[in-house]
Structure 1
């Protein structure tokens, strides 16, 4: 009889030739437990999803309670469904007053697709400005605004009319004109290796978009819900977007995304043609119930308030000659090494010793640190100790070789 791992390799579509092949049976808090009962500290939150950790009791109860009532009833936007209404109401209550209309989707990539369509429909323009190093998802529209040619070239032709500019480079803002429908920017760039914009640049970007009638889209799919030390990362810059993109931690572990805009902008999807954006499962009632419970826990337990302190702790503990730089805000950090080869060996050693971390899609020589916000000081100290041991063990034996993007 084939093992579960063999069946996974035989029947589940693979995205690389070298999956991690870790087999987990349960997860609780910051830990995931494999088939032999070994505990692993999840230091990446399932790539920004599990802000509350795994199996939060209030989120689990909300899922069970809603599943007992009803699950899918109809394509999105037709029926008045309590979980969708209450979740949208709660989201709007913690956002700036202009961001008052929520369109729920299945994922972050679908939120990107909906936002790009909305911007083109509302403005009547076709050109888009995106950023070098950007990651917004893998669907065709999202791929079109990705700022890494290596990951795009095999799938062309993609959307036309897209200009790419560099983060924090003021002169290139002149490429935003009266023909630009939207600018799409990760409020903090994730897969580029956690690149944080300058506050002055963000203000200048907002001003340029306002001058030209261009919609400013902030992608907070990775950065939102306390991860950076603010509920939303744009709060660090005192700049408000025209459209906000959310997913990952939005669902408390369940799959849901959203694009959020002023009511008058969102109304453009209602006509010429009607049903301007359609999703069957977007805003699934069980996912919305989970998302509402997760947001309430985040707010009630003030989890965001401890994030800056935990960031400082990590920066204090991770000091080593092999670490070139630590970038980021809050619990959204990149630890940079000389090469991918060294980074990968350190990551593999960490995983072997029970700490799950990862590298970045567009910055393979940096290690990702983005644990659940609930991680305790003791748990964080343990994870940092394992990282430091891994660095020591590999820098004593590894000759640093030229970087490559993949093994």
Structure 2
């Protein structure tokens, strides 16, 4: 008997405690968590600075609506974008952040046509789902929000879709749910130039790739582009629900009073947590340490060999192992879980690894050892 909709294919156990990358289920079994709650707990479970910030704010004030000034929202926005010339809007999730971006694009440009890409994932609310280029996500929910057009990722011919009738283009630097597919730098730069040529707004969905996941605060910083709009969520709150959309300052006039809002978005608890996350990542030694373990993981994954392992791809601490068939993927995931390693699936045949950015060299070695044994 369950009182819940069966929309999740749940494992037959519950994770009840966690510390760093180690989590324990309700049967007392320990696992090395290479999922980070689907790229959310980027600083690991039970992070002391994040917990302290949440506890301190909880003793002061949990919630007031966005009818009043909120100094924490200002501090988080400033910490994230500094002198980059963006202004922010805070919400509760990645889907909400992308919904806000879609609304801003259409309102700012006075057009409805938006280009996204096949195998993309932008969320499950109606606008974000319509932006998502996956038929399986759309199934059963027609009619979708109109005027979304899907190009082929990393395909130069698809740039022709971006014409003068296009209000904006939404794209991931790495397609996470689509199979950990990394954008080609030349293609992404060409896409950015095309947007500038026709006056379309470039939206980078950083919901999964942002907050240090690929080795820099934002993944787009590694590709030599500057989006008009970008979205964040997942790692921004290290497990506390929070999302954000940032747009160039000149777009502020399109989001005046009454144009968009959120009851809970940017509440005091979420902002206190987000500020602690950002400050932790701004420590001088943080990203050098991430680079060190990222290189160790990348090298180890590239050295794995198995008859049905076709390709290893990724960046930073976001990696995918593609297998020749789905049956082998499911076998590997189940065997890894049995040996105490939690992993994720992406696309149809891709094993996705998203360990916390705080992973230690010893934990990298442990995870690689389990994968090698399983393969």
Q: Which of 45, 62, 71 lines up with 2:36 in the alignment?
A: 45
Tell me if structure 1 keeps the 8 A contact 2:308–2:328.
Answer: no
Q: Which of 80, 84, 94 lines up with 1:97 in the alignment?
A: 84
- Normalised by the size of structure 1, how large is the TM-score? 0.88
CA-to-partner distance for each residue in 1:217-245, whole Å, 9 max, x for gaps? 00010001221122211111110100010
Tell me if structure 1 keeps the 8 A contact 2:297–2:364.
Answer: no
CA displacement at 1:389 relative to structure 2: 1.8
What is the rounded CA distance, in whole Å, between the counterparts of 1:320 and 1:330 in structure 2?
A: 23
Tell me if structure 1 keeps the 8 A contact 2:189–2:223.
Answer: yes
| Secondary structure class of the residue paired with 1:228 | coil
CA-to-partner distance for each residue in 1:245-292, whole Å, 9 max, x for gaps? 00000112211000001222032121xxx4111210001211111111
Q: What is the number of equivalent residue pairs in this alignment? A: 372
What is the rounded CA distance, in whole Å, between the counterparts of 2:308 and 2:285 in structure 1?
A: 35
1:293 aligns with 2:276: yes
Instruction: List aligned pairs for 1:323-334, cutoff 5 A.
Output: 323-334=309-320
1:12 aligns with 2:4: yes
Instruction: List aligned pairs for 1:272-311, cutoff 5 A.
Output: 274-300=257-283, 302-305=285-288, 306-307=290-291, 308-311=294-297
Tell me if structure 2 keeps the 8 A contact 1:310–1:330.
Answer: no
Tell me the equivalent position of 1:190.
Answer: 176
Instruction: List aligned pairs for 1:357-376, cutoff 5 A.
Output: 357-360=343-346, 363-376=347-360
What is the rounded CA distance, in whole Å, between the counterparts of 2:4 and 2:274 in structure 1?
A: 28
| Secondary structure class of the residue paired with 1:10 | coil
CA-to-partner distance for each residue in 1:36-69, whole Å, 9 max, x for gaps? 3321111011111011101110000000000111
CA displacement at 1:89 relative to structure 2: 1.6
Tell me the equivalent position of 1:315.
Answer: 301
1:379 aligns with 2:353: no
CA-to-partner distance for each residue in 1:338-392, whole Å, 9 max, x for gaps? 11111111101111221100211xx22110111001111111111111122222x
Tell me if structure 2 keeps the 8 A contact 1:226–1:303.
Answer: no
Tell me the equivalent position of 1:58.
Answer: 49
Tell me the equivalent position of 1:30.
Answer: 21
Instruction: List aligned pairs for 1:2-401, cutoff 5 A.
Output: 10-16=2-8, 18-74=9-65, 76=66, 78-93=67-82, 97-98=84-85, 100-270=86-256, 274-300=257-283, 302-305=285-288, 306-307=290-291, 308-360=294-346, 363-391=347-375
CA displacement at 1:110 relative to structure 2: 0.3
Tell me if structure 1 keeps the 8 A contact 2:308–2:325.
Answer: no
CA displacement at 1:314 relative to structure 2: 3.0
What is the rounded CA distance, in whole Å, between the counterparts of 2:302 and 2:87 in structure 1?
A: 42
What is the rounded CA distance, in whole Å, between the counterparts of 2:284 and 2:24 in structure 1?
A: 26
Backbone CA RMSD of aligned residues: 1.4
What is the rounded CA distance, in whole Å, between the counterparts of 1:303 and 1:155 in structure 2?
A: 43
What is the rounded CA distance, in whole Å, between the counterparts of 2:252 and 2:300 in structure 1?
A: 41
| Secondary structure class of the residue paired with 1:364 | coil
Which deviates further from its counterpart, 113-122 or 376-385? 376-385
CA-to-partner distance for each residue in 1:300-344, whole Å, 9 max, x for gaps? 163322334233333245333331100111111100111111111
CA-to-partner distance for each residue in 1:104-144, whole Å, 9 max, x for gaps? 01100000001000000000011010100100010000110
| Secondary structure class of the residue paired with 1:368 | strand
